[in-house]
Amino acid sequence: MIYLGIRYTLVNSETGTGAQSGFPTNAAQTTNEGMNIPGGSLESIIFRLTGTLNAAGDVDQDLPGAISALRVILNGETFFDYRSGYNDPGADTTASQLGYFLNSLGENLSSEVVASTTVKEAYIRIPCGIVAPAGISRLEYTLSTTALAAATTGTGVEVWCVYNDNMQTRTTVPPATSFNASGTGQQEVVVRVPSNVPGLIAGVLIQNDRDQDDFSEIRVISQSDYSLETNYWRYLNSDLYNGVEYGSSGSQLSLNFAQLSPGTIFVPLFGLARGDDIRLQVTTTAARTLLFNPVLVAAANAREAPMPGQTQAVKTNTLSAVLDRSGAANQ
């Protein structure tokens, strides 16, 4: 049997400073781009970000640490909607929340060249798994970045579509549920899961609004009789096995290995059925705002379930209504 295999297609390339390209610079910015793409089995989207920092310390961690939000839309349907809990790329030397999240969904979904402390080349790969109709489809994205200490130069953002006729799953990251933690003990959190998106729940990303673990225990009510400490969850998701890999200004020879991304943890749910929203019990030690991002995985090109609808037509006719009320029709 002959497989058509994988095809990489460059669908957009933006250059220039600031919002012209979307590469982080010395002011917070939001870039909106839309482009026509060929139809086909869209496995994933690759963003390639290139640019030169003013100084090494402008980004001390991996470049995705400067990305505060990323939304990707195909033919009017949002399949990836991410926002960070915090951003401090000039001070943090740890793995970013976005980079950590993507690599929790698969190896090498976020990576970068670390040969230089100022010349940046980073790649982030967004899983998709939707078959775009034959002909022309529309891909759009919104990219928000935080301010760096100084302006960047020689910047550019490329967008590549990866087509793969043998893709097996569709991945959806719906908007996060925010929760104001009391910091005084255990609280129940209901993580909303959209009813019109197909798939089982692969896991949930939990993000704090600062680079500290202000949550100490987490219980998935439907899967555990007990709350598990965060280190226990990091054992279960393989973070403790030096499972967090990222670039930083501290090494120009290889990526760094770590056991965590501070204030961030991915809780695997192993295909949890969609009988209800995700219900957690979370113990916190400080009053903070937490974000909970579910991840849904279905068969490739699975479609959303239809919304509830009526089966009987309600026919309205003002002329008939006036006639009926007048009583003339009964004479």
pLDDT digits (tens, 9 = 90+) for 137-153: 999 999 999 999 999 99
Q: What is the mean pLDDT of the chain?
A: 91
> Each residue of 9-56: pLDDT tens digit?
999 999 988 888 999 999 999 999 999 999 999 999 999 999 999 998
The per-residue pLDDT for 1 is 43
Cβ proximity of 189 and 281 under 8 Å: yes
Supply the DSSP symbol for 212: S
Give 172-186 pLDDT, tens digit per residue: 999 999 999 999 999
Using CA atoms, how far residue 209 sits from 42, 129, 192, 206, 322, in Å, is 33, 30, 19, 10, 60
pLDDT digits over 104-123, tens only?
Answer: 999 999 999 999 999 999 99
pLDDT at 327 over 80: no
Could you give the CA distance from residue 65 to residue 151 in angstroms, rounded to a whole number? 16
- For residue 125, pLDDT over 60 is answered with yes
Predicted confidence at residue 196, as pLDDT, reads 87
- The tokens describing 57, both together, are 């310390």
**CA–CA distance, 205 with 213 (Å, rounded to integer):** 14
Model confidence, pTM: 0.90
pLDDT at residue 111 in the model? 97
Q: Cβ neighbours of residue 132 under 8 Å, at least 6 residues apart?
A: 37, 38, 39, 40, 41, 42, 74, 75
- For 265, the token pair is 């943890």
- Examine the pLDDT at 231 and tell me if it is beyond 50: yes
The mean pLDDT value for 70-86 works out to 97
